[in-house]
Structure 1
């Protein structure tokens, strides 16, 4: 009988699921030789075994023709605009610092297992897009809780999975469904010798305020790097780009202008009353850029017929387990819509680009600065004055302590952009990036997920970002005609005036 290595196997056996179908795009790193699934791929580096879904690309890192020092799992674009593909031979004299520098320059959605120069570590992308959890108790790192642990879960006491799945709260600041299993922070590596996390990116030399003084220069560099990443992804993979009447998809569309013919599908979801404005805005964008827009329409008879209610219900249970009991698709309509996405290798999403609008800042915070409570509340998508009423006292005390500990680890210049850095390092790994594991049809990736892009965006004055100054400059630098098209708010106003 095959030896069990993780609790996800028990979940699959109990429900009669095929493991490879139930947990797509997932991975596990441990010292166990046995894979949780026979279809999964395997790579041994040092004393550690990496097992992963075959739909996750794997690449090797080394200097010159030397031995393999690291393994990249996922999709990445380096500083030179090269898409990682198989073996990447790095130039220069080999060192841990040089290897780390190369990893820090990668955009995309990936993890990197390193066993070199006396170190054994796992690095993550700029926002831990290929999010991960780790358990010192189980001596394992994985994409989700049930793939990491090999025992009965011991539920987190601060917030229940029921509340998280009901969208009444969220796991944050390391919390997961299991109290021994912790969510990683972006821009920290995990030391596999101690199972402790250490910051490796953002230092005293990274002065946001100083760099942000040249707003035109910052915008030009962001636009150039985003376009480089978009061009490389579209040229190297089968891709789809969802459009809406919002900001983020427009930024990606503008950056993709040189390779629109390489993007296979453009689409949008029209499933709620409010999405009719997204449909109208997306149609305007598609017409302006000369691309064909596919609409996934709730009114289409096939929308209801292609999956039975029982199939939707079962898929929602799978989504919950894929995300460590964090997300189950919200509702039946959303699950159906996501399941109708075009079948391409990659779906290019704008997550991370919301920072161009200073999404975690209020105007008061941007003008007057923010306290730790202001920043913690922003992480929870509320105002500081609401914390005592909306968060249980014991959990609030714990969240405040963990946020303060994270803040104390920030270099002094980064504290001026605390809400931005927290959004990238704490919120995104736990929320949107973890949600991506729910989706089995495509590999979702954020082209904006790059450390240089994140740094430059945060460097741009927050109040100016709130006024859409950065968004306007970015589109002007790539595809200026898109600046003249209305956004969702303007479309709503036009409909109100016409009513």
Structure 2
């Protein structure tokens, strides 16, 4: 088998007619699991427990960092009461799909931001599930969706380096994707929202002391990083950005166990802030900084495998970067990523103004180009119908939940799915407890340009972490980077004509 083909992916199906040589197989209930050997798989199957559990990937409980996946599953099975919204599983961080086999149904749910993807189809009464739709072709035929065929051929898709679909969508007829904060029932084939709901213990409380909330967030973040470092060898990507800096500061006690690195890709050069700032920050503390060069064109064979690992593969951008990572990133380590923190930072707001979110079209305007795609607008109309009252009931603005479920649950999830070919990743902010703690902070402490609360998280690791600017943008820098950016765009267009 080619070890990079469908790396860290899975197929869960009632069918026994599957051709995936070298993969781990496991029969549980009416399903057979096929898992790539680099994907962690854990099972709790105890006759004394009310449920059987299957974990694909890994889970971390920052409140109990000493528990491994097996211990977590045993605790979850013992505390199952039939209601996912109040189950301790919703407090887990990690990157996983969790399958719950009850006496009369099978439930599927994922980590808080859905970073371990799950796509599925129901054919002739049987439910088939996989990391992504192309694996479903092992057991059922796939037919491209007419609605999304137009989108994939659209100007938006051609011109966007990182184009993506709404969280529930795939390019195929009758194939759906599990949306974050939802569970899928095998008995109905339908998704149900389990968070946020009005009676959940994790709702966004009003009036809590900001200092207490910030300290709680710092404690949770440090515990999450320490738990990950105890579980795996870890690596920390460092850039000139805010979220990277928070992880850098919070992981200070783990410095002797971390591999610090920065990816050099696209137009970046040695003086680019995303390379120069990490170098200065790490040098000031005597820490080694590894720069992984991702600019060398990937081989045709690599690009073919990368393309075939996902129906929506960002071949000539993320694929080129992944090629550099596979060659320069230490394979035994898990990358600690700062994504998902933006959920609490009003990332989608212009000048701090609450956007209009009364229709699917208004929501689509939050992502440049989406408004011109009728299929996306229609999908967001459906999503909004149930998301809006759920968000309002607990005091979360709809643009925040949109960011959580569509940017993190689709754009970032797709990125991690594609980069599974080169690395496993853990995202400490992919944690419902941590995110809801941050969402309770007053808007003015989370808003641009200062984002005061997040700078306080950085300062908790030492004021020297703030000596370098965060995401500096100057006219001189823009001029300096113009030619490298233009040259990159030309090379990208030329490569895209020759790759396939």
1:132, 1:184 within 8 Å by CA — same for their partners in 2?
yes
Are 1:115 and 2:101 counterparts?
Answer: yes
Tell whether 2:453 aligns with 1:470.
Answer: yes
Write the distance in 1 (CA, Å) between the matches of 2:190 and 2:277. 46
Q: 2:225 aligns with which of 230, 255, 258?
A: 230
The one of 460, 474, 493 aligned to 2:441: 460
1:323-334 to structure 2, matched below 5 A, reads 323-330=310-317, 333-334=320-321
Aligned: 1:279 with 2:242: no
Give the CA RMSD over aligned residues: 3.2
Which residue number corresponds to residue 342 of structure 1? 330
Aligned equivalents of 1:217, 1:64: Cα separation in 2: 43
* Residue 216 of structure 1, CA deviation: 1.8
* Separation in structure 2 between the aligned mates of residue 343 and residue 162 of structure 1, nearest angstrom: 35
Give the distance between the partners of 1:277 and 1:184, measured in 2 at CA: 37
- Aligned in 2, Cα 1:372/1:225: closer, same or farther, shift over 3 Å? farther
Task: Return closer, same or farther for 1:98/1:284 CA change in 2, 3 Å cut-off.
Answer: same
Instruction: Measure the CA separation in 1 of the matches of 2:179 and 2:191.
Output: 8
Change (3 A) 1:35 1:135: same
Deviations 1:127-161 (A, max 9, x none): 11101111123621110111124344221223334
Q: 1:320 and 1:209 mapped to 2: Cα distance?
A: 41
2:338, 2:427 within 8 Å by CA — same for their partners in 1? yes
Match of 2:494 in 1: none
Which residue of the other structure, out of 370, 376, 401, is the alignment partner of 2:381? 401
Counterpart in the other structure of 1:139: 127
CA distance, structure 2, for counterparts of residue 63 and residue 277 of structure 1: 53
Residue 165 (structure 1) shift? 6.2
TM-score normalised over the length of structure 1: 0.83
- With over 3 angstroms needed to count, the CA separation of the structure-2 counterparts of 1:320 and 1:378, relative to structure 1, is farther
Aligned equivalents of 2:209, 2:229: Cα separation in 1: 30
Q: Which moved more, 1:176-185 or 1:408-417?
A: 408-417
Alignment partner of 1:376 is 2:356: no
Corresponding residue SS for 1:481: helix
Q: Normalising by structure 2, what TM-score?
A: 0.83
1:12 corresponds to which residue?
none
Change over 3 Å in CA distance of 1:34–1:84 after alignment to 2: farther
Q: Report the Cα distance in structure 1 between the residues aligned to 2:319 and 2:436, rounded to whole angstroms.
A: 38
| Distance change (3 Å), C-alpha of 1:47 and 1:423 | same
Q: Where does residue 316 of structure 1 map in the other structure? A: 303
Count of residue pairs brought into register by the alignment: 463
Q: CA deviation at 1:331?
A: 6.8
Once the two structures are TM-superposed, the CA of residue 472 in structure 1 deviates from its matched residue by 1.2
* 1:58 maps onto 2:41 in alignment: yes
Residue 460 of structure 2: SS of its match in structure 1? helix
Q: In structure 1, which of residues 271, 284, 290 is the aligned counterpart of residue 286 of structure 2? A: 290
Q: Which runs of 5+ in 2 are unaligned?
A: 482-500
Using the alignment, how far apart are the partners of 1:112 and 1:268 within structure 2? 32
User: Counterpart of 2:425?
Assistant: 444
User: For 2:132 and 2:159, how far apart are their aligned partners in 1?
Assistant: 19
User: Does residue 84 of structure 1 match 2:71?
Assistant: no
Of residues 134, 142, 147 in structure 2, which corresponds to 1:153? Answer: 142
Tell me the CA shift for residue 180 of structure 1: 1.2
List aligned pairs for 1:152-231, cutoff 5 A. 152-160=141-149, 161-163=152-154, 166=158, 168=160, 169-205=163-199, 210-211=205-206, 213-231=208-226
Equivalence for 1:242: 237
What is the CA distance between 1:34 and its match in structure 2? 4.6
Deviations 1:32-85 (A, max 9, x none): 235441322223332222221121112234789748621111121123223524
Picking from 337, 349, 352, the partner of 1:361 is: 349
* Corresponding position: 1:417 with 2:397: yes
Distance 2:44 2:436 in 1: 25
| Alpha-carbon offset, residue 191 of structure 1 | 0.5
- Give the corresponding residue for 1:262: 257
Between 210-219 and 284-293, report the one with greater CA deviation.
Answer: 210-219
Query: How far off its partner does 1:215 sit?
Result: 2.0
8 A Cα contact 2:217 2:438, kept in partner: yes
Structure 1 CA distance for aligned equivalents of residues 42 and 361 of structure 2: 41
Q: What's the CA shift for 1:405?
A: 2.6
Which of 5, 8, 15 aligns to 1:32? It is: 15
